[in-house]
Amino acid sequence: MPNQKAQKFKNFVGHILEPFALGVLALLFIIPTITVMNLSPITKKLKDLNVLGVNSQSSVSVTLVGGKHDVFTEENLNKNDNTYDYSTKLNKRAADSYSKPILEIKNNTEQVQTVSFYGQTLNQTQSNIRIIVDDKTYKIQDDRGQTYPQEVTVLPSSKVIVFLAIENLTGIQFSEEFDLQVKVVENL
C-alpha cells in the first residue's frame, strides 16, 4: 500500500511538473536566440534616428546645379558637417564677364536661415569674383586678391539659386582653381 501511494504521488507530480519542465526547456533555447538577435546590428533603423550633429530632412540643403560652361569646369561640392566646399576650375578666358548657376540652396525649415560664403583663388589674376543671389551681387574677391566673407538669408520653405560671376579687364592665359566655402550659420 505504501508503494501504491508513492506511485500515485509520482504520477500526480509528474503530470504537474512535466509542463513546467517543457517550458523551462523551451526557454533554454528561446532566451539565447533573443539575445543573439538583440546583439545583431540594426542598420536599417539607423537611418531613421536623429543623431546629434546630423542634419535631418527639415534643414538647409545645398546641391550642385551642374551644367556645362566654357570657363567654369570640373565643379565639385563636398559636405563636411554643416559646411559645404565648392570648387571649380576657371579656364583661361578673354577679357569679359562670365556667370553660371552653381548651387541651389533649399531652406526646409520654418524659420529664416543665414548662409555664409567665403571664397578665393590661389593666384591673383586681377579678376573680380562675385556671387549673385536673387539679383543681388555679393563680392567674394576683388581684382587685388582681397577676399570678402558674405552672408545671404534664405526665407522659410524656399530655395535660391546661387550664380558665380567673374569679370576680367584683361585676358587670362592659364587655368586656376576657385574654392568657395558655404556654411549654414547656426541660429541661437
State the Cα–Cα distance between residues 165 and 162, nearest whole angstrom.
10
The pLDDT of residue 185 is above 90: no
More confident residue, 29 or 116: 116
| Residue-wise pLDDT tens digits, 116-172 | 999 999 888 888 999 999 999 999 999 888 999 999 999 999 999 999 999 998 888
For residue 24, how far is the Cα from the chain centroid? 50
In this structure, the answer to whether residues 134 and 77 fall within a common structural domain is yes
Percentage of residues in the chain having pLDDT higher than 90: 46
The CATH number for 148's domain is 2.60.120
Give the amino acid at 168. Answer: N
pLDDT at 55: 47
Q: How confident is the model at residue 29 (pLDDT cuts 50, 70, 90)?
A: confident
pLDDT at 51: 52
Mean pLDDT for all residues in the chain: 85
3-class secondary-structure state, position 162: strand
Whether 53 maps to a domain, the answer reads: no
Provide the domain limits for residue 22: 2-40
The pLDDT of residue 90 is above 80: yes
In this structure, the answer to whether residues 74 and 108 fall within a common structural domain is yes
Q: Are 75 and 155 in contact (CB under 8 A)?
A: no
In this structure, the answer to whether residues 163 and 78 fall within a common structural domain is yes
**What dihedral angle (degrees, nearest 10) is formed by the CA atoms of 65, 70, 72, 73?**
80
Three cell numbers, residue 146 = 582681397
Alpha helices in the chain (DSSP H): 2-39, 43-46
Whether 52 maps to a domain, the answer reads: no
In this structure, the answer to whether residues 35 and 68 fall within a common structural domain is no
Whether 49 maps to a domain, the answer reads: no
In this structure, the answer to whether residues 32 and 66 fall within a common structural domain is no
Mean pLDDT of 96-123: 92
